Amino acid sequence: MGAVAALSVPAGDLAPGDVVRVEASLRNGGGTPLTEVRLGLPAPAGWTVTPVGPAPATSVRPGGTVTARYDVRVGADQRPGAAELSGTVGYRRQAGTATLPIGASITVVPAVAIAGITVGPDAVAPGDTAGVSVLLRNRSTLPARGTVGVTAPAGWSTGPGRDYDLAAGQERTVALPVTVPLTVTEGTAALTVATGPSAAEQAAAGVRVVLAVPPAGAVDHVDLGDGGSEQEHGLRASAASGTNTEAGRSRRYTQQGVAGGYFEFDLAVPPGRPFVLRAVETYNQAQLKDYDVLVDGVLVHPRAYQRTAGGEGTVSYQILVDRADLTADGSVRVRFQEDAEGRNYDPSIADVWSLPVTTG
């Protein structure tokens, strides 16, 4: 018939409370006048749609267009994401009537934007607390209330979220603490700051965890791969286990692919108290290592870590051994053991220290 109905929405994102001018139109591309033109645009729940300007004509000649304009206000409680506007355009052509659907999508952004994140100090040790400062900006024309929180890797302590109450256009910085666990691997830990569940309400940050090697205040140290240190600590190992130098350090490995391979040694620890094991592991490429760490035959840590950097290098990590019952005599037997299937890569340990739990 040549009739073309459309709903036109200006480009750009909108926040709750924003108003946008939209146009519903009917273009007559045929050769016959269209009469009894009706343009309707209902408001989505919580929104308002207000006609503006002169009432549109009720007929349109061939080649002409009839347009209705509306001010559409986004609902105050609209969730972020795509919101749909839909309406209808009706007309009569000669003896028949028709109704055409019109629609458009509007992208709604959160009223409150995460405008910036800073984390301090620049580096933290196990047991330390870092402060995550979050700059919130209310970019809407309405007051905004809610909660901002931070999530961190498993084992980290983040505490509850913080409530905010922002006037239209207001900015405010909210402080959120994160505490490093005692069982942790060095490197940058990923944090997520969020004011809601959608991606538009979240932002990423990171905090760098450092482990001093050698650590201060160690009770004992085993230099694996060094014959004298291994002998002094009563080292025993499975048949395929061996030593060499990797990433510039002497190290001991169990041999990749050998199921159940192990090495073990005696280690002095704080008597009758929990303690921390700090270890330096060597790598020759990006790889996944998984194995078990046992103390006096008790599994204290199922280790699984994917190194992403290429080439040779080291990764330091530490484990909290919260078993004072194992340390009554001030000595434990520490074993690094490949799993029963010999999957992935094996342990390759250069150094191990024992530390009191209070050591950072």
Average pLDDT over residues 31-39: 95
How far apart are alpha carbons 295 and 265 in whole angstroms? 10
**pLDDT tens digits for range 202-213:** 999 999 999 999
Closest by alpha carbon to 249, among 309, 312, 305, 291? 312
Output the pLDDT for position 246.
98
Q: Whole-number mean pLDDT of the chain?
A: 96
**Contact assessment for residue 217 and residue 223, using Cβ atoms and an 8 Å cutoff:** no
- Terminus-to-terminus CA distance in the chain, angstroms? 79
Confidence of residue 360 (pLDDT cuts 50, 70, 90): very low
**Contact assessment for residue 323 and residue 238, using Cβ atoms and an 8 Å cutoff:** no
Q: In what helix (H) or strand (E) does residue 227 lie, and over which residues does it extend?
A: helix 227-232
Amino acid at 144: A
Q: Give me the domains of the chain, ranges plus CATH numbers.
A: 3-108 (2.60.40.10), 112-209 (2.60.40.10), 220-356 (2.60.120.260)
**Contact assessment for residue 18 and residue 140, using Cβ atoms and an 8 Å cutoff:** yes
How far apart are alpha carbons 306 and 67 in whole angstroms? 60
How far apart are alpha carbons 306 and 163 in whole angstroms? 36
Confidence of residue 359 (pLDDT cuts 50, 70, 90): very low
**pLDDT tens digits for range 183-224:** 999 999 999 999 999 999 999 999 999 999 999 999 999 999
Judged on CB neighbours under 10 Å (0-12, 13-18, 19+), 107 is middle
